[in-house]
Chains A and B, each alone.
Chain A
Amino acid sequence: MNLTLAYHPVEALRFDASTRLDGTTLDIDVDDLRGLLLEDEAFEDIAFEFVAPDEDCRAGPVFDIIEPRAKAASSSPDFPGILGPPLTAGMGTTHVLSGMAVTVLDEHAAGGSRGSIGRVLEMTGPAAEGSCYSKLHHLVVIPRMAPGRDGPAAQRAKRVAGLKAAVHLARAVASDAPGESRTFEPVDPGPPGRPGLPRVAYVGQIFSRQRRAELDEPVLYGHNTTGMLPVLLHPDEWLDGGVVTSYYTSMGGAETYLYQNHPIITELYRRHHAGELNFVGTVASIAGSDNTDRDRNCHAAAALVQWALKADAAVLTKYGGGVPHADLAETARLLETAGIRTSVMVSDVSRDRRVESALLFNFPELNAIVYGGGNDTRWQVPPAGRVIAATPAVGELLAGVRELGAMNVAGVTNQQGASRLRAVVY
């Protein structure tokens, strides 16, 4: 596997009669794009808006954020298992419209624990400073579902529409010369090319069975993860569309954009290239629905890290809410028992801001913990100059927001490693 990312920088979006990159301005034929997306009868209509970095604008609730990417001819498929056959991702060249994103809105916030505004795209002000998304140009996709299309059917439609739009835009540059290319140094669990450097693996949860996955909810190569055991993935499979987020990201947040630009995988690659470690591969896992499920998953994940990747060290992340911390911790404990050193990243569960409420595990060997913050960061925000939402009611709600919590701003808190907000003990 040897993925090449061909970057085409975008510094402006412009409505035009055809979709093409003119210098660094992306012209978008939105009628053409709308026509493409409305092939799915789940939509009654779809609207588009452009948003620029640092613009006085708020959009939400965010369903997903995707980086526009398209595979070059004779490479692996785009978003395999969803838009194409489920063949191995990460092969050949992928064209990337860098500096921008396709941001799909929900019609209303998904039910659950984050309040009625869900997670918003906040482009300016103090709340935006902590988010990588405020520095991007966004094509905001605003769906209106056809009558009767709600629940899983609507979620599936929005997922596919976002990915299709992302691929469609990037196809426009597939025959252009990129501004810059990056080919990843081969990573594999084979004999260590550089003896003396620690062999490091990544173990990432991609779903939590606190929810039952919808039948056609695509997460891993289009599969909904039900019944899956931990699986070895090449790092490039994460970066190249093999994994997308679940319909619900719950505590902390996760977006497809940050799988494509996975902060942990890109960091491990950076250190690998810098000669600080040997990046030997990754394991994708899920948080179990019961103890049997949990034990099976944790043991299988640990065994892959130990026997297939022969790692000396592993970094682990969770997905979903509170219970997945138990799966994360159990996997790390098994690794530690096997002599593999671990560090783990957890999300902020301490609502009374006490250390005693901060962790959902207590294994002494799990003594390297990265703790994301979020529960006591709130900003007073002025009325947004421009509000983008799928319905007038939600628009009014977003316009009236005077206070925003870190958990409600996409990118400020994040389970994939992008957040710079941490909790400190005092």
Chain B
Amino acid sequence: MQLTSALPIAKMVGSNRVVLGTGIVHVAGDANLPPDEEKALRRKLVEEALDSLRAEEGGAG
């Protein structure tokens, strides 16, 4: 899966599993948040990333 903030480019090259990141300069974080909130945000993004990697219902993938 690809975690990116440049969705159109990921789509163009044919990435199948894309999760939107939180910005080009910090795709898995947000420098504007306090550290604990940023960590929580990152965990959420990684969980979404892992979710996107799971075999779909029915398993056809």
Contact = CB atoms under 8 A, between A and B. Distances in A.
Whether chain A touches chain B in the assembled complex (some CB pair under 8 Å): yes
Interface band, chain B: 10 to 19
Nearest to A362: B12
A329 B5 CA distance: 16
Contacts of A362: 12
Contact of B25 (A212, A291, A322, A329): A212
Main secondary structure of the interface of A (DSSP, over half): loop
Contact of A289 (B8, B9, B12, B25): B25
A423 interface: no
B8 A326 contact: yes
Main secondary structure of the interface of B (DSSP, over half): loop
Contacts of B23: 209, 289-290, 293
Contact of B24 (A290, A292, A329, A361): A290
Interface in A280-338: 289-294, 322-323, 326, 329-330
Given A209-B24, A211-B25, A290 B8 contact: no
B12 A360 contact: yes
A183 interface: no
Given A290-B20, A360-B12, A362-B12, A326 B25 contact: no
A51 to B, nearest CB: 37
B7 interface: yes
Q: Which of A290, A329, A330 has the most CB of B within 10 A?
A: A290
A323 B6 contact: yes
Q: Which of A322, A326, A330 has the most CB of B within 10 A?
A: A326
A290 B21 contact: yes
B22 interface: yes
A291 B22 CA distance: 8
Interface band, chain A: 10 to 19
B49 to A, nearest CB: 15
B31 to A, nearest CB: 8
A210 interface: yes
Contacts of A291: 5-7, 20
Given A210-B25, A289-B25, A360 B9 contact: yes
A50 B4 CA distance: 48
A326 B8 CA distance: 6
A362 B23 CA distance: 22
Interface in A205-220: 209-212
B43 to A, nearest CB: 18
Contacts, number: 41
Nearest to A333: B8
Contacts of B7: 291, 294, 326
Interface in A192-243: 209-212
B52 to A, nearest CB: 15
A247 to B, nearest CB: 15
B24 A289 contact: yes
Interface string A27-40: 00000000000000
Nearest to B31: A212
Contacts of A330: 8
Contacts of B5: 289-291
Nearest to A289: B23
Contacts of B8: 294, 326, 329-330, 361
A323 B20 contact: no
Nearest to A298: B8
A210 B24 CA distance: 6
A278 B22 CA distance: 41
Contacts of B22: 290
Contacts of B21: 290
Interface string A60-80: 000000000000000000000
Interface in B1-58: 5-9, 12, 20-25
A168 B4 CA distance: 47
| CB-CB nearest 7 A-B residue pairs | A326-B8, A290-B5, A290-B23, A289-B23, A291-B7, A291-B20, A323-B6
29 contacts: A209-B23, A209-B24, A210-B24, A212-B25, A289-B24, A289-B25, A290-B5, A290-B20, A290-B21, A290-B23, A290-B24, A291-B5, A291-B6, A291-B7, A291-B20, A294-B7, A294-B8, A322-B9, A323-B9, A323-B24, A326-B7, A326-B9, A329-B8, A330-B8, A360-B9, A360-B12, A361-B8, A361-B12, A362-B12
